[in-house]
A and B are shown apart, each in its own frame.
Chain A
Amino acid sequence: MNEQERLFRRIRAMQFAQWELHMFLDTHPNDCEAAKKLEEYRTKTAALIKEYEAAYGPMNETSANTSRWAWITGPWPWETGEEEDA
């Protein structure tokens, strides 16, 4: 795993943790600790995404000005893994 992949993985992990905290708060809406943790992860994730995009370009096609409609550009999420065969 190179540095780019490592950073991407950390961002994903942060987003996963946020989603779990979000659902925990659905059934524990008065849990201030969980709410604080979620906010902390949000802030950290935003910083990591900034770091990633500064180094490697846009993470999300819609987050940058592109010369064409980049949303249609592959690979789509299910189209991974095959290239390693080559």
Chain B
Amino acid sequence: MWVYEKKLQYPIRIKNPNPALAKLICAQYGGPNGELGASLRYLSQRYTMPYPELKAILTDIGTEELGHLEMVGTIVYQLTRNLTPQQIKEAGFDSYFIDHTTGIYPADANGVPFSAGSLAVAGDAITDLHENMAADAAPFHL
């Protein structure tokens, strides 16, 4: 089970909205290399890990990724506060806004919904650990 702590892992205070940036940072929330995928990857792979160290670390890192997910969600939320219709259009945020308004939806930067197709759970320790290394090394290009 999990217990919620009513705080962010690291505090976030964004004063100025920036919907264009928010659209890109969405990728880190619900994109193929985002925190949601990371969390599900580790928390799903841990069951069949053969060593206690691995069960522990995947449980704990999967949990930490949920904390990261919350921080990224907070960033997107704070970047899209108090937008004017003009800001929404000019930033190209209208294509997100039309379906989600300023709700935080797990999708990539193009609005493609999160898919478990972006992660793998093979049930084999070596295969899964390699998948983790590949996923965690996947950079974001800005």
Contact = CB atoms under 8 A, between A and B. Distances in A.
Interface in B46-100: 52-53, 56-57, 60-61, 64, 70, 73-74, 77-78, 81
B112 interface: no
B61 A80 contact: no
Q: Which 3 A-B pairs have the closest CB atoms?
A: A81-B13, A78-B74, A26-B56
Given A80-B12, A81-B12, 17 more contacts: A19-B64, A23-B61, A26-B57, A29-B52, A29-B53, A60-B6, A71-B6, A76-B6, A77-B6, A77-B7, A78-B8, A80-B11, A81-B13, A81-B15, A82-B15, A82-B78, A84-B13
Contact of A27 (B10, B57, B64, B81): B57
A84 B15 contact: yes
12 contacts: A12-B10, A16-B9, A19-B64, A26-B53, A26-B57, A77-B8, A77-B70, A78-B8, A78-B78, A80-B11, A81-B12, A84-B13
A67 B65 CA distance: 35
B21 to A, nearest CB: 15
Interface string B1-40: 0000011111111110000000000000000000000000
A27 B53 contact: yes
